[in-house]
Amino acid sequence: MIKKLSIFFFFTILHYQLSAQSEIDSLGENIQKIAYAIQENDTLSIRIQQDSFLYLKLYETLATPHSFSFSFDSLQSIKLIKSPDGLFKFFTWQLALNNEHYIQKGILQIKKSDGQTLLFKLNDISDEIENPTDFIGSNQKWIGAVYYDIIQNEFQGKIYYTLLGFDAYDKHITHKLIEVVHFEKDQLVFGGDFFNYPSDETYPEAPVKRFIYSYKNGANAFIRYEKDAKAIVLSELASITNDLNEKSTLVPTGDEVYFIWKNGKWVMPKK
């Protein structure tokens, strides 16, 4: 009798999981269609309206019990990254306000032990901040970016997550950034004293709370994490007009520089 009950509950749970995954996939496909329409529509008011609808539908989907364990393969216009320890996921995307300016949107989903999820809405206030490199943020006061990678480190018993992000910014300049985030009393903290690097006119002026790399829009500059080397590797930049202060003229030289995690900071060795 116990064996029959166990089999019954197994198939009941399996049926629930398959049904839930089907529902998540369906919602994901609908969200993807909305996201694509937002990118293609030429009317700003419609893009904003559809983006609000997208945000609502995604939030509702992520609030669905057990949704953390399911894949969102259909969300091609929304970037999804998962923390190495499996604790949370970032969903981020960007909205074009016009052909010269973008804002970012995002939701952080945290897995709870009972199958429920905890959600943090990310509110981009970049336009209100005079110096984004010198700002400690939260989910309510966020320097927006589309995150494409996440690195987990530890220092003095505390876990820190480093995010690599992208910001289309405007028609002249593109940003990529390195952002360290951690939790303080169940609250998100974005940024902090985590960088040590030599002076260079192509880098943001130190000290910084986040490292923002600015370069010519369309240039193939990169910031990526190399797991084997445990290093964040960056394109070295130079100006096509010999004016290093003009970020819209900076392009990759073909050489690389890098950060390594050392004593709770990302440290760039001197050349």
Residue 247, phi then psi, degrees to nearest 5? -65, -30
Helices (H), the chain: 2-40, 44-62
Measured CA to CA, the distance from residue 256 to residue 130 in angstroms comes to 29
Q: What's the whole-model pTM score? A: 0.88
Tell me the two tokens of residue 39: 């990118």
Q: Where are the beta strands (DSSP E) in the chain?
A: 79-82, 88-98, 101-111, 117-122, 146-155, 158-167, 173-184, 187-190, 195-196, 211-216, 223-226, 231-239, 250-262, 265-267
Cα–Cα separations (whole angstroms), residue 223 to 165, 213, 232 = 9, 9, 7
- Phi/psi at 69 (nearest 5 deg)? -80, -5
In angstroms, rounded to a whole number, what is the distance separating the alpha carbons of residues 231 and 242? 29
Cα–Cα distance, 77 to 33 (Å, whole number):
9
In the chain, domain spans = 125-271
| Per-residue pLDDT tens digits of the chain, which is 271 residues long | 544 444 443 344 444 444 555 555 666 667 667 766 666 667 778 788 888 888 888 898 899 888 898 877 767 778 999 999 999 999 999 988 876 788 999 999 999 888 899 999 999 999 999 999 999 999 999 999 999 999 999 999 999 999 999 998 888 999 999 999 999 988 999 999 999 999 999 999 999 999 999 999 999 999 999 999 999 999 999 999 999 999 999 999 999 999 999 999 999 998 7
Cα(141)–Cα(124) distance, rounded to whole angstroms? Answer: 6
